[in-house]
Amino acid sequence: MSKITAFTGSNSQTSINDNLLQYALNFIKKANVNYIDLKALDVPMYSETLENSNGIPEDIKNLKSEIKKADALIVAVNEHNGAMSAFFKNITDWLSRSDSEYLKDKPIFLMSTSPGKGGAQSSLEYTTNNFKKFGGNVIHNFSLPSFEENFDENGMTDKYKAHLESLLTTFENDL
């Protein structure tokens, strides 16, 4: 059985991208999913001085180990000014310092949502390019626009649900 590691690049306690990710994981039927809450990690803001004096944080070493053990990743990213959040950029900075190919050949399903009509597509593009630098292979991406209009306590509207489910089924079957 395949192993998928999933996480959200937001540090918000009320992250709509985490809501999207948790919903999407319900469509994974065959693989074991390991959800990691990045907010729980003890990771200082990256600096070369800090790295030289203290080394790589243990939580980053553990996260890298979980990424390496996974057959694939499902990642939800939020958008701040057209890019991934500073919180998630910091996580990727630390990961890349510990191993510049920490995503080598790793299949990745990347998703995002936002309150606006863009669905955080700029962040998807930015994150796809960032992941490629470290060897990652973004196989599929999914963007849900206008979160409040297309997602509620019952889940996603039918217009987007079928598309997301189809993409995730294909992703999972190709592992």
Digit-by-digit pLDDT tens for the chain (175 residues) are: 999 999 999 999 999 999 999 999 999 999 999 999 999 999 999 999 999 999 999 999 999 999 999 999 999 999 999 999 999 999 999 999 989 999 999 999 999 999 999 999 999 999 999 999 999 999 999 999 999 999 998 999 998 999 999 999 999 999 9
In angstroms, the CA 117 to CA 54 distance is: 43
| Confidence at residue 98, expressed as pLDDT on a 0 to 100 scale | 84
Please, what's the b/e burial string for 126-153 (b: 16 or more CB within 10 A of its CB; e: otherwise)? Answer: bbbebbeebebebbbbbbbbebeebbee
Q: For the chain, which domains are there?
A: 3-173 (3.40.50.360)
In angstroms, the CA 29 to CA 112 distance is: 21
Please, what's the b/e burial string for 61-92 (b: 16 or more CB within 10 A of its CB; e: otherwise)? Answer: eebbeebeebebbbbbbbbbeebbbebbbbbb
Under 8 Å CB-to-CB from 109, ≥6 apart: which residues?
72, 73, 74, 75, 138, 139, 140, 141, 142, 167, 168, 171
Whole-prediction pTM value? 0.97
